Structure 1
Amino acid sequence: MLRKNLITQRMNHNLTQREVAELLGISEVFVRKIERGDSNPGRRTMLKFEGLYGVSERELFPDLFEVNFDTFCII
């Protein structure tokens, strides 16, 4: 699952994944994995993205904040 808003924010700021990585002090590979949804950032990394883009972490990473009530019961 792509994190479209995260990618959109990077593009709106005219930044490459490499530039984001350098600004946040993380690896370019990690930025790529976060954007693709293959990896989840820790709390500190989420706050770094929030500070960089000026957008709340809930908007950048909605998949990490959605509430999912599993109503499936095994009988």
Structure 2
Amino acid sequence: MERTQLIKLRLELGKTQKELADNLGISAVYVRKIEKGDVDPGRNTILKYVHFFAKDMTNLFPDLFFNIDDKKCIKKTDSA
């Protein structure tokens, strides 16, 4: 799942993935994978994003803190 909030914030600052990576002290490949949702960042990387964007981690990474793809929310129906 693409993390559109991260992409939006980065673009609002006029930063490329490479520039953001340099600012955060991580690789551009890692930034790309985080934005695409291919990998979940570790605690230290989350904190780098929090400090850089001055946003709460739950706003930056809602997929990690909220169970938005919870299959228990799907109601089961009997077709008998």
- C-alpha RMSD of matched pairs (Å): 1.7
Displacement of 1:43: 0.7
**Does the alignment pair 1:43 with 2:43?**
yes
- Please name the residue that 1:10 is paired with: 10
C-alpha separation between the residues in 2 aligned to 1:17 and 1:9? 11
Q: Structure 2: state its 5+ residue gaps.
A: 74-80
Q: Structure 2-normalised TM-score? A: 0.82
C-alpha separation between the residues in 1 aligned to 2:13 and 2:53? 8
State percent identity of aligned pairs.
46
C-alpha separation between the residues in 1 aligned to 2:8 and 2:36? 13
Number of residue pairs aligned between Structure 1 and Structure 2? 72
C-alpha separation between the residues in 2 aligned to 1:16 and 1:26? 13
C-alpha separation between the residues in 2 aligned to 1:39 and 1:16? 19
Q: Structure 1-normalised TM-score? A: 0.87
Residue deviations 1:23-68 (CA, integer Å, cap 9, x gap): 1111000000000000110011001011111111111100000134
- Please name the residue that 1:62 is paired with: 62
For the pair shown, the structure with the greater C-alpha radius of gyration is: 2
Question: Secondary structure in 1 aligned to 2:47?
Answer: helix
Relative CO higher for 1 or 2, CA cutoff 8 Å, sep ≥ 6? Answer: 1
Structure 1 runs, 4 residues or longer, greater than 6 Å off: none
C-alpha separation between the residues in 1 aligned to 2:55 and 2:14? 16
